Amino acid sequence: MTKAARTILVPAGPFTAIKYGIYLLLAADIFLFLREEWVAAIHTLVGPLDFRNVISSFAQTIDTAAWVVLLLLFELETFVIPDEELRGRLRWVLHGVRGTCFLLIVYAFYGYTALWLDLYAATPLPGADLCSLAPAGAALMSNPDEYVTVTAANCAALSPDGLLWQLTPAPNPVVSGTTALELARRLALADVINAGTWLLVVLLLEIDVRLQLRGLLRGWTMRISEASKGVLYSVLLACALYWGYAGSFLDFWDAFLWLLAFVLIEMNVIEWQAETTGG
C-alpha cells in the first residue's frame, strides 16, 4: 500500500503494533519524569514561581511532552496522512502545533542549561555539618534524584562525602556532599548535550520532510542527511550509555526508547521516499 493510498486510519500489523507500543511507553515517561521532578521541586523550587523556575524545575517533563507530540506529528506526516492531504488548513494546523513544540523544546534546553549552571554556582560550606543545618529545615541531595529532609533525628546517620555544598539559599536550603554534587553536574551536562543534539536531529528531519515533499531528498542531499544523523545518533547513544553507567535508569530507558522511536521514523522516511520515487 502506498502512502498516497493510505487513510487516516492506522494500518494493522506487528510492526505497527510495536511502533505504537514504543510511542505509548514514551508517553508514560512524561508522568514518570513529572513524579520525579515534582518530588525534587519540593526542595529545589525556591523564590517566586516564575517562568524560569518552572522551566528549570520541570525541564524533563516539558521536554518529553513536547517531543511526544512532535514524534506523533512526524508519524502523521511520514506514514499516516496521504501527501495530497498535507496542504491547506491541515498543513497550517500541523505547522502551528509543531512550532509550539519547538518553542517548548528550546525552553526545555534552556532549563537544562540553567540547572547545569546552577550546580556550578553551589557555595562551599567549610566546617559545616548536617546537624547544625537541621534547625534551618535543610534537605540533603543524596543523589541527583533523591532528597532527604535533615532533622535532629536523622542528621547523624546521614553521611555526605567530602565538603558540604549549599545548592539553594535559605529558607530551607538544599545541600550536597562533594561526590553527589559532581555526579549531578556530570548528569546535568549529559542532559544539555542530549537536548542540544536532539534539536539538531529534529532540524535535519524537518529538512528531510520539506525536501521529500519537493522531491529533492535524493543523491548528495540524502547522503549528507544520513551521514549527519549518523553522527548525531552516535552522540545520543553515548549519552544513553553514560546514564546507564551512572545508574540513572529512567534517563537511560527514556533515551533508549527515543532512539528506537526515531529509528522507526527514519524507516518511515525511507519507505515514503521509495514510494514517491517508485523505488
pTM over 0.85: no
Long-range contacts of 165-171 (CB under 8 A, 24+ apart): 165/122, 165/123, 165/124, 165/125, 166/122, 166/123, 166/124, 166/125, 167/44, 167/118, 167/119, 167/122, 167/141, 168/43, 168/44, 168/46, 169/46, 170/136, 171/136, 171/137
pLDDT tens, residue order, the chain (279 aa): 344 444 444 455 677 788 788 888 999 999 988 888 887 777 766 656 566 667 767 888 888 899 889 888 877 776 776 666 667 677 788 878 888 888 888 888 988 898 899 899 999 988 778 888 888 778 888 777 788 888 888 888 887 787 889 988 767 788 898 888 999 999 999 999 999 998 898 888 777 777 776 776 667 777 887 888 889 999 999 999 999 998 888 889 989 988 888 787 777 666 655 565 555
Of 72, 64, 73, give the one whose Cα is nearest residue 32: 64
Domain boundaries, the chain: 3-121+180-277, 123-179
